[in-house]
């Protein structure tokens, strides 16, 4: 089988896994060409020096594809509008993988590749996210997943392999957390975090990259105002701003105030529980602001149904089913549900807390005249008839029980 594969497109990050995969592919599939593809979804400095590194380790070329706009508008925004969350996790990795995998398929077709390779482990969720997307857009393409077939069993053994092949790494054995970084978040897994009894070292220099510990955040609160049009964040502090730039700015502001840290033991798709620490400063702010605006713009039935469907939406994203009919149908529901979520949300950020400081909308369903404790046109005597009808089944149940108990 190996001899038939002459050209392989590799999802390449330049991290530990994909750094050793290129020489492994060249050894395993003798004479094959390896084309590396790196999807830029906002990981910034991690892209520096990638082309030289990829070619030095055996790749014939490297594509660096700027997918930031697609990541934000085609993945993050729909999930934000839906309020999609998986067990409090804001889906930073889950949202990025399908966007990257779709571009892998496009490049593999253009290059006439025989296979697509990824560096995801057999224990994780990302293998599913990559491969379901590949099955959707390149259903006949062979998929190579080295972690499921090679003899390496741990990240320490990967480092041994890299050292034996003179592959330069940016990590060492002491800082060898498994990380994923993009515009939306940074995740940390492994090492001391594998034991849930261990407190994350938030105050240790170098652990947090997008945020600071709330302990080290300023003693003075920061106020911000986010403006919305039909559920889409469009302005920050009164100035129109592109959503990509807004996320970057909110990452900066939120990170300075210790916003968006999450320590969670989550249920992976493959059956095990895993512990991770996430930094999502801007995303946490946007989710909170969107939820706040919905409290005044959505009617009760729509709001409650939207909350129910957000669980399903989050599970679909987490489980790699971004390009599925149900996810797309839920996105259509969401677009309709938030069409009147236009207005502004004022927030106070203070030492890891997001405090609602004011809500305004021309479509607000909140009526101060009706809700006030002061005198109003609301006829309180109407509630007696309502309670009698609403409570009729309860009253009948009580009558029957009393009758049968005597």
Strand order from edge to edge, sheet including 239-240: 239-240, 232-236, 222-229, 343-350, 353-360
Annotated active-site residue in 19, 97, 187, 327: 97
Annotated active-site residue in 126, 155, 180, 187: 126
pTM for this prediction: 0.94
Alpha carbon distances (Å) from 372 to 33, 366, 367, 369, 377 = 72, 11, 8, 6, 10
pLDDT reported for residue 375: 86
User: 143: buried, middle or exposed (CB in 10 Å: 19+, 13-18, 0-12)?
Assistant: middle
- What DSSP designation does 200 have? P
Q: How far apart are CA 211 and CA 352, in angstroms?
A: 10
CB atoms within 10 A of CB 48: 10
Q: How far apart are CA 64 and CA 233, in angstroms?
A: 28
Alpha carbon distances (Å) from 190 to 135, 162, 256 = 30, 19, 25
Residue 188 tokens, joined: 């940390």
**Does the active-site annotation cover 17?**
yes
Q: How far apart are CA 320 and CA 331, in angstroms?
A: 16
pLDDT reported for residue 1: 43
Q: How far apart are CA 317 and CA 133, in angstroms?
A: 12
φ, ψ for residue 364, nearest 5 deg: -60, 135
Angle made by CA atoms 155, 161, 162, in degrees to the nearest 5: 90
User: 80: buried, middle or exposed (CB in 10 Å: 19+, 13-18, 0-12)?
Assistant: buried
- What DSSP designation does 199 have? P
pLDDT reported for residue 171: 65
**Any residues with CB less than 8 A from the CB of 108 and at least 6 apart, and which?**
9, 116, 138, 141
E strand spans, 306-342: none
**Does the active-site annotation cover 126?**
yes
Q: How far apart are CA 362 and CA 364, in angstroms?
A: 6
Q: How far apart are CA 273 and CA 311, in angstroms?
A: 18
Q: How far apart are CA 227 and CA 347, in angstroms?
A: 11
Annotated active-site residue in 13, 17, 94, 114: 17
Angle made by CA atoms 381, 385, 387, in degrees to the nearest 5: 100
Which residues, listed in sequence order, are joined to residue 35 by a DSSP beta bridge?
9, 61
Alpha carbon distances (Å) from 218 to 81, 253, 256, 268, 351 = 30, 11, 8, 36, 7
pLDDT reported for residue 3: 47
Among candidate residues 344, 316, 313, the one with its CA nearest the CA of residue 331? 313
Annotated active-site residue in 178, 187, 290, 361: 178
Among candidate residues 315, 319, 312, the one with its CA nearest the CA of residue 334? 312
Annotate 346-383 with b (16+ C-beta within 10 A) or e (fewer): bbebbbbebeeeebebeebeeeeeeeeeeeeeeeeeee
Q: How far apart are CA 79 and CA 18, in angstroms?
A: 28
Alpha carbon distances (Å) from 138 to 53, 94, 143, 254 = 28, 20, 10, 39
**Per-residue pLDDT of the chain in tens (406 residues, 90 and over written 9):** 444 899 999 999 988 888 899 999 999 999 999 999 999 999 977 788 899 989 999 999 999 999 999 999 999 999 999 999 999 999 999 999 999 999 999 999 999 999 999 999 999 999 999 999 999 999 999 999 999 999 988 878 988 998 898 887 776 666 678 889 999 999 999 999 999 999 999 999 999 999 999 999 999 999 999 999 999 999 999 999 999 999 999 999 999 999 999 999 999 999 999 999 999 999 999 999 999 999 999 999 999 999 999 999 999 999 999 999 999 999 999 999 999 999 999 999 999 999 999 999 999 999 998 898 888 888 999 999 999 999 999 999 999 999 999 7
């Amino acid at each position: 089988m190996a001899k038939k594969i002459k050209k392989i497109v590799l999802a390449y990050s330049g991290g530990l896994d994909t750094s050793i995969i290129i020489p492994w592919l060249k050894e395993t599939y003798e004479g094959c060409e390896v084309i590396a593809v790196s999807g830029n979804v906002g990981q910034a400095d991690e892209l520096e020096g990638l082309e030289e590194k990829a070619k030095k380790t055996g790749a014939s070329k490297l594509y660096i594809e700027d997918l930031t706009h697609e990541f934000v508008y085609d993945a993050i925004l729909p999930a934000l509008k839906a309020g999609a969350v998986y067990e409090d996790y804001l889906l930073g990795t889950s949202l990025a993988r399908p966007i990257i995998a779709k571009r892998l398929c496009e490049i593999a077709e253009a290059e006439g590749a025989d296979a697509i390779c990824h560096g995801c482990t057999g224990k994780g969720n990302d293998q599913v996210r990559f491969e379901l997307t590949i099955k959707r857009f390149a259903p006949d393409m062979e998929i190579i997943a080295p972690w499921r077939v090679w003899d390496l069993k741990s990240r320490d053994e990967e480092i041994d392999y890299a050292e034996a092949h003179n592959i330069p790494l940016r990590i060492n054995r002491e800082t060898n957390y498994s990380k994923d970084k993009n515009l939306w978040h940074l995740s940390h897994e492994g090492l001391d975090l594998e034991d849930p009894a261990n407190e994350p070292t938030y105050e240790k220099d170098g652990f947090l990259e997008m945020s600071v510990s709330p302990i080290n955040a300023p003693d003075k609160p920061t106020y911000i105002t986010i403006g919305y049009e039909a559920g889409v964040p469009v302005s920050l502090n009164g100035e129109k701003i592109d959503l990509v730039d807004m996320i970057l700015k909110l990452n900066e502001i939120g990170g300075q105030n210790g916003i968006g840290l999450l320590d969670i033991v989550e249920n992976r798709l493959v059956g095990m529980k895993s512990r991770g620490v996430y930094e999502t400063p801007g995303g946490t702010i946007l989710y909170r602001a969107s939820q706040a605006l919905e409290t005044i713009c959505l009617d009760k039935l729509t709001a409650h149904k939207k909350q129910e469907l957000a669980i399903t939406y989050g599970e679909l994203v987490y489980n790699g089913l971004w390009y599925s009919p149900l996810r797309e149908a839920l996105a259509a529901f969401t677009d309709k549900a938030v069409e009147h979520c236009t207005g502004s949300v004022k927030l106070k950020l203070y030492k890891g807390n997001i405090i609602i400081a004011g809500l305004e909308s021309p479509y607000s369903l909140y009526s101060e005249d009706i809700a006030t404790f002061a005198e109003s046109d609301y006829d309180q005597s109407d509630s007696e008839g309502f309670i009698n009808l609403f409570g009729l089944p309860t009253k009948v149940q009580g009558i029957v029980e009393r009758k049968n108990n005597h």
